[in-house]
Amino acid sequence: MKLFTKTFGCQMNFADSDEMARHFKKRGFVPTDDEATADAILVNTCTVRDLAEHKAVSFIGRLRDWKAAHPKNMIVVTGCAAERTKHEIKNRFPYIDLVVGAKDIEGFETELDDLLSRKSKFENRKSTLEPQPTSGQNLSFGFRAADLSPVVKYVTIMRGCNYSCSYCIVPSVRGREIYRPVAEILSDTAARVQEGAKEIWLLGQTVNSYRPNPAPFSGYDFADLLRDVAKTPGLERLRFISPHPYYLTPKLIQAMKETPQVCDHIHLPVQSGSNTMLQRMRRNYTRESYLDGIRALRQAIPSICITTDIIVGFPSETEDDYNETLSLVEEADFDSAYCFQYSPRPGTSAAALPDDVSQSVKEERVNRLLALTDGNGTRKARSLIGSEQTVLIEDDKGGGVFRGKTRNAWRLRIKNENLKIGDMVRVRVSSTHSRELHGEVI
Ligand code: SF4
């Protein structure tokens, strides 16, 4: 039996897909890259942006003929768009066999077994293994998250979000925060390292709000977890995504500084430089407190690379608000930024606000912002020419060309026949191409 998996969206979704694929695997399925010959298709959807949801829905629509040709095969649709449009999606595509929303992922294994016992082609596939129990604030995932590369692996530490940013659909489709137990995170990390991982990414929607419950862990927080995960024998690099600026505490900065395995890179979404917009977005920090955090990071870790997310054209954003964003970008001196034009998402509180910044103004603002952030990134990349960097080789492009990352997250390309994935090499940067560095092994 073959399973084809199609995932849309963020790292959390890729990690979830991996978990669900593992449940299929326990029931005798093997993965395939060819949807035409698959017996089951798993579509893990995203709804963060209209386009992401549209792509997932289009993909499901294109499965109509596949299902008509193989009525005994099955289609399982999961994730955030499935959560948001559960009933609509079932009515629109009646050939879907199972819909499991993002909030119900802990019950996926049971739902899958129910479905398998109802489908004659699969009825003997029910797993003999009991599903993992879950309860309250602590969640036992029991899964291996998606791999970035054979030597770089994800470990999910929490799900959901306790914030309610006015533009964001995540809290309503993923629910409130639930934390994975510390012991499980540590044993999962150790297992990944034994399998060959040299770099681990801790994943969570607001990863640094991690607070395991209940006591005896009271007072234990993300900074403590970073220090503990870093002690994993054989682990060389540790990263995390996505932190929230509110939880960028002095304790966390200190842990980052004092833990050699923690890489000097942070992706810290700011969204706007205007306090008026931040308040309307319900971000729970100000321009001043965000910049204080950046200054503290740079003071503690001078080599740190800081990247961010920015939204332009949020309802009522004036030219003055936008200029505040431009000035924050200059002051923060970001290494790169993902810049988005605001578009309302149904189900968010901002969707009730008038979308009153015209499309042409949004485009003009995002283009000016991109020119600024890209220019900054290019300038920073060029400043690294001639420097020496430690690079973890993550990808073999063929023909003796390899790609890897520096500790502070710059992508670096090397031509050298003697390398292999997993090598940690010293490299001198010789040139740049956009934001990619090129270099030679020293
Ligand atoms: S912190 Fe805000 S933007 Fe991030 S997932 Fe939570 S609600 Fe969405």
How large is the average pLDDT for residues 39-61? 91
* pLDDT tens digits, one per residue of 318-339: 999 999 999 999 999 999 999 9
- Which of ligand 1's atoms lies nearest the C-alpha of 174? 5
pLDDT of amino acid 69: 93
pLDDT of amino acid 127: 54
- 248 C-alpha to center of ligand 1: Å? 15
- pLDDT over threshold 80, residue 145: no
- pLDDT over threshold 90, residue 33: no
Which domains are delineated in the chain? Answer: 2-125 (3.40.50.12160), 149-263 (3.30.750.210), 268-383 (3.30.750.200), 388-441 (2.40.50.140)
- Which of ligand 1's atoms lies nearest the C-alpha of 162? 6
- Nearest CA, atom 8, ligand 1: 168
How large is the average pLDDT for residues 210-228? 83
- 164 C-alpha to center of ligand 1: Å? 6
How large is the average pLDDT for residues 218-247? 95
Q: Out of 165, 208, 338, give the residue to mutate to test ligand 1, the one with the largest number of ligand atoms within 8 Å of its CB.
A: 165
- 166 C-alpha to center of ligand 1: Å? 9
The better pLDDT of the pair 23, 358 is held by 358
- pLDDT over threshold 90, residue 356: yes
* pLDDT tens digits, one per residue of 274-295: 999 999 999 999 999 999 999 9
Ligand 1 pocket by Cβ (under 6 Å): 161, 163-165, 168, 170-171, 205-206, 244
pLDDT of amino acid 139: 42
Helix H, strand E, coil C: the string for the chain is CEEEEEECCCHHHHHHHHHHHHHHHHCCCEECCCHHHCCEEEEEECCCCHHHHHHHHHHHHHCHHHHHHCCCCEEEEEEHHHHHCHHHHHHHCCCCCEEEEHHHHHHHHHHHHHHHHHCHHHHHHCCCCCCCCCECCECCCCCCCCEEECCEEEEECEECCCCCCCCCCHHHHHCCCEECCHHHHHHHHHHHHHHCCCEEEEECCCHHHCCCCCCCCCCCCHHHHHHHHHCCCCCCEEEEECCCHHHCCHHHHHHHHHCCCECCEEECCCECCCHHHHHHHCCCCCHHHHHHHHHHHHHHCCCCEEEEEEEECCCCCCHHHHHHHHHHHHHHCCCEEEEEECCCCCCCHHHHCCCCCCHHHHHHHHHHHHHHHHHHHHHHHHHCCCCEEEEEEEEEEECCEEEEEECCCCEEEEECCCCCCCCEEEEEEEEEECCEEEEEEC
Q: Out of 84, 159, 205, 310, give the residue to mutate to test ligand 1, the one with the largest number of ligand atoms within 8 Å of its CB.
A: 205
- pLDDT over threshold 90, residue 173: no
* pLDDT tens digits, one per residue of 90-111: 899 999 999 999 888 888 999 9
- Which of ligand 1's atoms lies nearest the C-alpha of 171? 7
pLDDT band of residue 13 (cuts 50, 70, 90) is confident
